[in-house]
Amino acid sequence: MELLCKMQMYDWGKTGADSMVAALVKSANPEIIIDEKLSYAELWMGTHPNGPSYLKDENLNLQDYIEKNKSVVGIDVEKKFGACLPFLFKVLSIKKALSIQAHPNKEMAKNLCEMYPDIYKDSNHKPELAIALTPFEALCGFRPFTEIKTYVKFLPELCAVIGEERVSQLASTNELESRNTLKECFHSLMTCDSAIVKFQLETLIRRLYNSNESSRQYFHADLLDRLYSDYPGDVGCFSIYLLNYFTMQPGEAIYLGPNVPHAYLSGDCVECMACSDNVVRAGLTPKLKDVQTLIKMLDYSCEPASAKRFQASREDDCTEIFRPPVSDFAVAKITIPPGRSVYNLIPRKAASILIIIDGKASIAPLKILNRGSALFIPANEEIRINVLCGCHPMLMFQAFTNV
């Protein structure tokens, strides 16, 4: 069953035809008009009430269809989650950084919902998996402790916002004792007076502008300039020296479990998450910053960027699967090579959503499916993909409950 899916317009999204989100939707639905002035940030595929998908031919809300046909989700899914899709599947097109944030575990999500229901409106956790479609920049997890100490040592502006006492504590701390010290330093940084933060950021940007190219690269001067341009004076600009910064190539992935600090910076990706809105923010955002909650909940483990990449396992010659350590979702990446005309999808015991990123196909009894077409597939369904115009690889992603 082909789906009509919701586009979300957020300020950080890419504009007009530059947005992969807009390009995908336009390809699947040529009658849609794309406004070159609007930011097309996200494509939502699923049953989330803020952007539910509809069955295209029947104009029926997908959740309503599932509730009337409970068996489509699969026996194991219905037993564990009920008649629903416990995940939200997305495509993101990012022009400027999303907020520095983390997501609470289930226990903390429940507590936050009970204490602050106007801010944290549901009690579910929100683990996420992001798979790059284009070169994709991100901040994720705290850097190795030695790297953080080196940046603090050579950046007096960073020292000024962390504070002399915490900097001295950091310098004398070994890796085995790093978590508490890092927590104190991060707290000092994120609660520093905004006027001091703004002054020190401007001082650092001017100093790096006059530095040699080697120093500019080491201290990520171009990234700092870009973040400051988008979020002037925001303390989150300093986070690039505490959090891992890296660029994923197409097909590479990161998994974001509870309490992991992160921020997406630029690029396009496929993302899947538990169906929740629970986000705790503390920088690079005009939205509410809940610094105290974030400081309390964060995982202060220090690891290299390479440890944050999430590996897939191969299922057959066309399909790799990303299975995170949660039951809410898994994602299959399906690549049909040039010259191959037919591929049988691996049947799943849970309902799934499939999106075509590149290529063209027919799936009986549907009409021809183009780039951007999204399908709802009931549990245990056997699907035969007939590839059309197979001179280039066909790329699809399929999300389903990890049961």
The verdict on 103 and 173 lying in the same domain is no
Q: What is the pLDDT of residue 146?
A: 95
Backbone angles phi, psi at 90, to 5 degrees: -140, 160
The verdict on 126 and 158 lying in the same domain is no
Please say whether the beta carbons of 264 and 248 come within 8 A: no
Please indicate, yes or no, if residue 287 is contained in any of the structural domains: no
The verdict on 196 and 265 lying in the same domain is no
Q: Which residue ranges of the chain lie beneath pLDDT 70?
A: 366, 390
Helix (H) or strand (E) holding 22: helix 20-28
The verdict on 131 and 256 lying in the same domain is yes
Q: What is the pLDDT of residue 102?
A: 95
Q: What is the pLDDT of residue 216?
A: 96
Please say whether the beta carbons of 66 and 243 come within 8 A: no
DSSP conformation letters of 114-156? HH-TTTS-------EEEEESS-EEEEEEEPPHHHHHHHHHH-H
Q: Which of 223, 255, 276 is the last residue of a domain?
A: 276
> What Cα–Cα distance (Å) separates residue 3 from each residue in 56, 181, 236, 285?
5, 50, 38, 32
Query: Catalytic one among 281, 323, 348, 384?
Result: 281
Please say whether the beta carbons of 150 and 218 come within 8 A: no
Q: What is the pLDDT of residue 288?
A: 85
Which 3 state secondary structure label does DSSP give 86? coil
Give the bridge partners for 256, in sequence order: 128
CATH of the domain at 171: 1.10.441.10
Please indicate, yes or no, if residue 302 is contained in any of the structural domains: no
The residue range of the domain holding 213 is 144-241
Number of independent structural domains in the chain: 3
Question: What's the chain's Rg over C-alpha atoms?
Answer: 22
The verdict on 154 and 30 lying in the same domain is no
The verdict on 119 and 258 lying in the same domain is yes
Q: CB atoms < 10 A from the CB of 28, how many?
A: 21
Q: What is the pLDDT of residue 134?
A: 98
The verdict on 109 and 233 lying in the same domain is no
Beta strand ranges found along 288-359 (DSSP E): 313-314, 319-322, 330-336, 342-344, 352-358
The verdict on 120 and 254 lying in the same domain is yes
CATH of the domain at 50: 2.60.120.10
Is 323 considered catalytic here? no
Please indicate, yes or no, if residue 300 is contained in any of the structural domains: no
pTM (predicted TM-score): 0.95
Q: What is the pLDDT of residue 366?
A: 67
Please indicate, yes or no, if residue 285 is contained in any of the structural domains: no
Please indicate, yes or no, if residue 327 is contained in any of the structural domains: yes
The verdict on 67 and 154 lying in the same domain is no
Helix (H) or strand (E) holding 43: strand 42-45
The verdict on 100 and 149 lying in the same domain is no
Please indicate, yes or no, if residue 270 is contained in any of the structural domains: yes
Q: Are strands 394-400 and 330-336 parallel, antiparallel or unpaired?
A: antiparallel
Please indicate, yes or no, if residue 344 is contained in any of the structural domains: yes
User: d(Cα 298, Cα 203) in Å, to the nearest integer?
Assistant: 29
Q: What is the pLDDT of residue 78?
A: 96
Q: CB atoms < 10 A from the CB of 365, how many?
A: 5
Please indicate, yes or no, if residue 305 is contained in any of the structural domains: no
User: d(Cα 238, Cα 246) in Å, to the nearest integer?
Assistant: 16
Q: Show the tokens assigned to 397.
A: 């992603």
The verdict on 131 and 26 lying in the same domain is yes
The verdict on 192 and 110 lying in the same domain is no
